[in-house]
Amino acid sequence: MASNKLHDWQPSATQQVLKQRAELMAKIRRFFAERDVMEVETPSLSAATVTDVHLESFSTQLLASAHRSNDAQTLYLQTSPEFAMKRLLADGSGCIYQICKAFRNELAGRFHNPEFTMLEWYRVGFDHFQLMAELDQLMQTVLSCQAAQSLTYQQAFIDYVGVDPLTADIEQLKQQVNRHNLDADWILAEPDFDTILQYLFAELVETNIGQKSPCFIYNFPASQSALARIDDQDERVSRRFELYYKGIELANGFHELTDADEQARRFSKDNAWRKQHGLAEKPIDDRLLAALQSGLPDCAGVALGLDRLVMLALQQTHIDNVISFSVNKA
């Protein structure tokens, strides 16, 4: 037993990489200090979690008594600090950022470790375009890369898939699977419009954008709005953006939804989808809804995968190479 674990104690990353990582973290903190954005900390454990149908959170049990496990309370490791940070914003924090651990119950891979480091920040008074500009500044500061390009989701889909995602029907989407010779018979039987959209986007758009410079995709379909506002000028799209660079999805941001009733409807819709597809329903975060009800200031927020950013900065090809201990060494 001991012999099999002989080298498992050693870190996943080299000491040189860990030192460079620390220097990058200091540079990021200076970036926000120069802009008077306050660093905050929020809990990793919460009584509620995300209802997002594409995310699975870890859960644990808080025992009320060592001898009464039946009274244990379920707590969830957070997939991002978003809900708690919005409660701070509603309480008047002003612009804030956080560097923290986040947890997503997905298989480890080249770009994902189930426990990872996230940078998330919120700018009061910003819309999504202003926040995209600031994220672009951060990318140039950390990576010394070119300025980012920007494409609407609609235009990117037309350019690389060959169909308008805002007007196409489900059969027109499925026709693109054959037209592009994608080996995905399962998608031809898929009844969910957004699942097909997301598959085509991943296969044909993500693989082509952001190769020479970072690329923002913005104005996602309203059906994929998550916690973003629906656009005032075009109700078919939401004020949501994502950032891609060299084949890596780096960030996801919103001009934040402030309507508590609409947010509650979206959470309930997520849980209905979960139930319909045999997934466990998730407890809705009533404290977040109460914060929205009390008044979330007009703001934009973005979450960025810091380990992935470090991979790009240090020209590493696997996330294990930039974190102290990967999940198989934890």
For residue 148, with 0-12 CB atoms within 10 Å meaning exposed, 13-18 middle and 19 or more buried, which class applies? buried
- Whether residue 36 is predicted with pLDDT greater than 90 in this model: the reply is yes
Radius of gyration over every alpha carbon of the chain, rounded to an integer in angstroms: 21
DSSP-derived pairing of the beta strands 38-39 and 96-103: parallel
- Determine the average pLDDT of the residues in 130-144: 98
Q: Which long-range contacts (CB under 8 A, 24 or more apart) does 218-223 make?
A: 218/128, 218/129, 218/132, 218/150, 218/151, 218/152, 218/153, 218/242, 219/152, 219/153, 219/154, 220/153, 221/153, 221/165, 221/166, 221/194, 221/197, 223/193, 223/194
- Whether residue 209 is predicted with pLDDT greater than 70 in this model: the reply is yes
Q: Which two tokens stand for residue 232?
A: 């005032």
C-alpha to C-alpha distances, 259 to 69, 129, 295, 299, nearest whole angstrom: 38, 20, 9, 13
pLDDT value at residue 1: 47
- Under a CB-based contact definition with an 8 Å cutoff, are residues 98 and 120 in contact? yes
Largest CA distance in the chain: 64
Q: DSSP secondary structure string, 211-274?
A: SSS-EEEE--BGGG-TTBPBPSS-TTBBSEEEEEETTEEEEEEEEB---HHHHHHHHHHHHHHH
Q: How confident is the model at residue 240 (pLDDT cuts 50, 70, 90)?
A: very high
- Determine the average pLDDT of the residues in 84-104: 98
Least-confidence region, from 1-5, 103-107, 212-216, 250-254:
1-5
Question: Quick one: what percent of the chain has pLDDT higher than 70?
Answer: 96
pLDDT value at residue 301: 98
pLDDT value at residue 40: 98
- Determine the average pLDDT of the residues in 19-30: 98
Question: Quick one: what percent of the chain has pLDDT higher than 90?
Answer: 90
pTM metric for this prediction: 0.94
Residues 6 or more apart from 276 whose CB is under 8 A from it? none
- Whether residue 28 is predicted with pLDDT greater than 80 in this model: the reply is yes
Indicate the average pLDDT of the chain: 95
Least-confidence region, from 93-102, 271-280, 293-302:
271-280
- CA neighbor of 310 nearest in space, from 144, 143, 110, 132: 143
Q: How confident is the model at residue 68 (pLDDT cuts 50, 70, 90)?
A: low
- Whether residue 27 is predicted with pLDDT greater than 80 in this model: the reply is yes
DSSP-derived pairing of the beta strands 45-46 and 38-39: unpaired
- Whether residue 86 is predicted with pLDDT greater than 60 in this model: the reply is yes
- Give helix then strand counts, H and E, for the chain: 10, 11
- Whether residue 2 is predicted with pLDDT greater than 60 in this model: the reply is no
pLDDT value at residue 63: 85
How many other CB atoms are found less than 10 A from the CB of residue 65?
A: 9
pLDDT value at residue 69: 63
